[in-house]
Amino acid sequence: MTDAVLTTDTLVTGSADAAWWRQAVVYQVYPRSFSDTNGDGLGDIRGVVEKADYLAGLGVDAVWLSPFYPSELADGGYDVADYRDVDPRLGTLADFDDMIAALHARGIKVIVDIVPNHSSDQHAMFQAALAAPKGSPERDRYIFRDGLGENGELPPADWTSVFGGAGWEPVGDGQWYFHFFATEQPDFNWDNPDVHAEFLSTLRFWSDRGVDGFRIDVAHGLSKDLPDVLPSQAELDAMDTTDGQHPMWDRDAVHDIYREWRQVFDEYDPPRIAVAEAWVATAERRAKYATPDGLGQAFNFDLLEADFDAAQFRHIVTDNLAQSEATGSSSTWVLSNHDVVRHATRYGLAPLNGRDVKQGSAWILAGGPADQVDLERGGRRALAASLFLLGLPGSTYLYQGEELGLHEVADIKAEDRQDPAFFRGADPDRDGLGRDGCRVPLPWARSGSSFGFGAAGAHIPQPAWFADYAVEAEDADPASSLNAYRRALALRHELQTGESLDWIETGRDDVLRFVRPNGWQVVTNFGTEPFALAAGEEPVLGALVDGAVAGESTVWLRG
């Protein structure tokens, strides 16, 4: 008996260049931690150029480049000082053009991050706003409000920042500006036409240079509806986030912006693609970001918050494929990124005293290192989950280092940490570790001052155990995580088919099995007991133990 999941079967990767994104494997490069070619401890654009053969050998279809723009690094580059240039510490526009050429020559598309909710406080538009008087056109490009109190000495509201601390910052003349995130990241006023023009120009600038698509940061935060009398933080927190009318998040009006952007994307042949980072309340709300007249695709983060559990995985897959079918988009699958604990570590955590280990957030908040992580089990589960994802219809987003089975680095000294989520309103001894642990520079070699990352040290120190996960070490090991990813991506291209699957009942709650339209099957054993296959069933990826799928592993079967 099979349980059909209906999706769009007519579009397959490679069937038309315009549809390349629908079933692509996209590799996220966090450039400051990828590869350092000038020995300053920071990864750079030339590092991506030099590792283009590695990326091609891995088998990815596209690279998503996290922010590389001029920045004061108040938030890892997500505080952008100039949207149409390269941070000089990372290279030049000429280096960027070389990167585009190197990746395109190897058949790899390029997606770049766009950060439209806020800029750096060093951006020319914000500096002009600070220099201009109250009520000026320059200030109208951002969210300024008069303070409360006799002389505006109190904030306009008691709102808090996502990173902790106050959400309003005074500028010395009785006015305050709003920032959802760090103080150095003032929010744009998207009711202002100058802001629209700035980003339309930015999209065309990078598209003209050959960029194939854009990842939209905080896509759900741009549109705001702020009354003269601002609600309190408690009132904001109590408001409905599912009706599209919340004054701050996921407003229906935000999609007018993306319809405007779609017109720009469609000026190019093939059209530029976009994917929304939108942390919203429901799958139905997320689907609104993935319509053909809008951004076209939206990140599905559900698996970032799921346990290594068959029932949870099946529910998430079924729900998201249905939503994608409804919008004509394709599903996205992701297990790790630059904002969350690496999934190899999450899956190696055990619940303690009833603690929820989803997303590793409780572990991070508890200060992580005090808890024992089962590294071997976490790595085994991570590979099983990744191979499950790579068999699904839709696009899969990989985070740099996950192909190595890298774990989170928890024991970073406070003086070496960079994440504002760690510093703003946090007690370093009690209140968590922030996001630096998944942003530690990659190990390329078994030895050296930074394990081959660069000629000197790394901007976030690497632990000694990184040597065992280095590309050099795994390259030589046929059984390594890296070589498993290479085999999977090569086979995925060979087996790719229509965007649907049927569930095949296994008789076990902890084993999932599905079949794609061409007969390609994926079997994942989430349990610990072996799952026997029928006589004659031999995997094309993964190995059987005594004719059975071992616990916490995945195999692929050819149709």
Q: Which of 490, 513, 535 is the last residue of a domain?
A: 490
CATH of the domain at 148: 3.90.400.10
Query: Which token pair is 340?
Result: 């969350």
Establish if 184 belongs to a structural domain: no
Q: What is the pLDDT of residue 414?
A: 77
Cβ atoms < 10 Å from Cβ of 252: 13
480 plus 343 within the same structural domain:
yes
Cβ proximity of 222 and 116 under 8 Å:
yes
82 plus 54 within the same structural domain:
yes
Smallest Cα–Cα separation from 69: which of 84, 54, 48?
Answer: 84
Smallest Cα–Cα separation from 428: which of 368, 375, 487?
Answer: 368
Q: Which of 436, 460, 490 is the last residue of a domain?
A: 490
31 plus 139 within the same structural domain:
no
Establish if 15 belongs to a structural domain: no
Any idea which residues carry the catalytic annotation?
A: 217, 267
> Tokens 């950060």 label which residue?
115
476 plus 550 within the same structural domain:
no
CATH of the domain at 550: 2.60.40.1180
- Count how many domains the chain has: 3
Containing structural domain, residue 265:
25-118+194-490
Q: What is the pLDDT of residue 425?
A: 47
- Rounded to the nearest angstrom, the gap between the alpha carbon of residue 442 and the centroid of all alpha carbons in its chain is 17
For residue range 385-444, what is the model confidence (pLDDT) as tens digits?
Answer: 999 999 999 999 999 999 999 999 988 887 878 776 655 544 444 345 778 889 999 999
Q: What is the pLDDT of residue 423?
A: 54
Q: Give me the amino acid identity at 46.
A: R
Q: What is the pLDDT of residue 469?
A: 98
Category of 91 on φ-ψ map: left (φ > 0), alpha (ψ -120 to 50) or beta: left
227 plus 325 within the same structural domain:
yes
Establish if 5 belongs to a structural domain: no
Establish if 16 belongs to a structural domain: no
288 plus 360 within the same structural domain:
yes
Smallest Cα–Cα separation from 278: which of 217, 337, 324?
Answer: 217
398 plus 328 within the same structural domain:
yes
132 plus 114 within the same structural domain:
no
| Cα–Cα distance measured from residue 419 to residue 223, given in angstroms and rounded to the nearest whole number | 26
For residue range 109-135, what is the model confidence (pLDDT) as tens digits?
Answer: 999 999 999 999 999 999 999 999 999
357 plus 222 within the same structural domain:
yes
Q: What is the pLDDT of residue 487?
A: 99
For the chain, residues with pLDDT lower than 50 are 1-16, 425-431
| Cα–Cα distance measured from residue 298 to residue 279, given in angstroms and rounded to the nearest whole number | 10
**0.85 surpassed by pTM:** yes
CATH of the domain at 33: 3.20.20.80
225 plus 320 within the same structural domain:
yes
525 plus 481 within the same structural domain:
no
Q: Between vectors from CA 273 to CA 270 and to CA 275, what angle results, nearest 5°?
A: 170
Length of the chain: 559
Establish if 9 belongs to a structural domain: no
- DSSP string computed for 147-198: PBSTTS-B-SS--B-TTSSBSEEE-SSSEEEE-SS-TT-PBB-TTSHHHHHH
For the chain, how far is it from start to end, CA to CA, in angstroms? 17
- Rounded to the nearest angstrom, the gap between the alpha carbon of residue 310 and the centroid of all alpha carbons in its chain is 23
Q: Which of 461, 490, 519 is the last residue of a domain?
A: 490
Radius of gyration of the chain (CA): 23
